[in-house]
Amino acid sequence: MPRKTHRLRNGLIAGGLVLTLTAGGVAWWAADRFLIQHVEISDVSAYEAANSSYTATSDADEADSADETSTTLTDTSYSDGETSVTISTVTTGTGENTVTYYVADVVLGDATDLRSAFANNQFGENITALTSEMAAENDAVFAINGDYYGFRDTGIVIRNGVIYRDEPAREGLVFYSDGTVAVYDETTTSADELLADGAWNTLSFGPAIVEDGAVVDGIEAVEVDTNFGNHSIQGDQPRTAVGVIDENHLVFVVVDGRQSGYSEGVTLTELAEIMVSLGATTAYNLDGGGSSTMYFNGEVINQPSNGGERATSDILYIAG
């Protein structure tokens, strides 16, 4: 009998140890996957300078053409004579049905005027910074949060004409250097092929919510990620989206949400309807929730749902 008790005690201790180790393993895996920074490229600026096939206009060139362009910045608009940004705020509904969203109508002088920046000037997983910090570091007059590429290790990531990741997984959006924009299936192509065709920036989140000027069917059932820690994109949520009106004519929308009486947020279908109403023929959903942020003229102009900005991994921006 004592031997049996001893064996039972040892069994319980061994079982507890296994559970502890298992729990510890899960905790470590979760921390490693979602918290610990994994820096793959420590100096993005240098990496892009060494790998980009595009020729940027230098400050000296811009100074030489000062007589031909002028910069205008007001409370709601910006123009350098070629690229312009016009900001508007829309509030609809009343009471618990109130929705507030911010619209940036953007006309690009050149498609490459729309740029991307990574948190801390680094590329990898779990590297984050505030949208406003990234914007300020890159002299942006306008910026929105991007696709939070650093939350995952899949997708095709091309930024500013340089390949960073080639792990096809979902429906993406590609901005070409000729001003065209297209929704595409990442699994049917590669980063090299896209770059050869003139890709300037890609986004890997989704889904596409407007195609051919109409709301896409079935978007409420789409899952962007199925990995551990994924958050639902269904229901009324804060949202960020980019839409295409015409060549080099884009519209960006940030919808505030989760704030009773001010803005409840919108569904993907309602977001698509907003984009259609703004004239978008194509529109694509970006990272939302607490990440949804619009920055203009030195400040965040929307009200993020966390009571302040949430750090994210990347932005799209236009330099002032």
- Please write the tens of the pLDDT for every residue from 141-197: 999 999 999 999 999 999 999 999 999 999 999 999 999 999 999 999 999 999 999
Q: Are 145 and 292 in contact (CB under 8 A)?
A: yes
What the block records as the tokens of 295 is 């920055």
Least confidently predicted of 20-29, 183-192, 281-290:
20-29
What the block records as the tokens of 300 is 């965040």
DSSP 8-state assignment for residue 56: P
Question: 95-120 in b/e burial notation, b at 16+ Cβ within 10 A?
Answer: eeebbbbbbbbbbbeebbbbbbbbbb
What is the β-pairing status of strands 282-286 and 294-296? unpaired
Q: Which residue has the higher pLDDT, 25 or 116?
A: 116
DSSP 8-state assignment for residue 193: H
pLDDT for residue 26: 62
Residue with tokens 């618990």: 96
Residues 6+ apart with CB under 8 A from 15: none
Rounded to two decimals, the pTM is 0.85
Q: Are 149 and 155 in contact (CB under 8 A)?
A: yes
Tell me if residue 12 falls in helix, strand or coil.
Answer: helix
pLDDT for residue 23: 59
Q: Are 298 and 317 in contact (CB under 8 A)?
A: no
- Give the C-alpha separation, 70 to 80, whole Å: 5
pLDDT for residue 73: 73
pLDDT for residue 3: 43
Q: State the average pLDDT over residues 50-74.
A: 58
Residue 21 has pLDDT above 90, yes or no: no
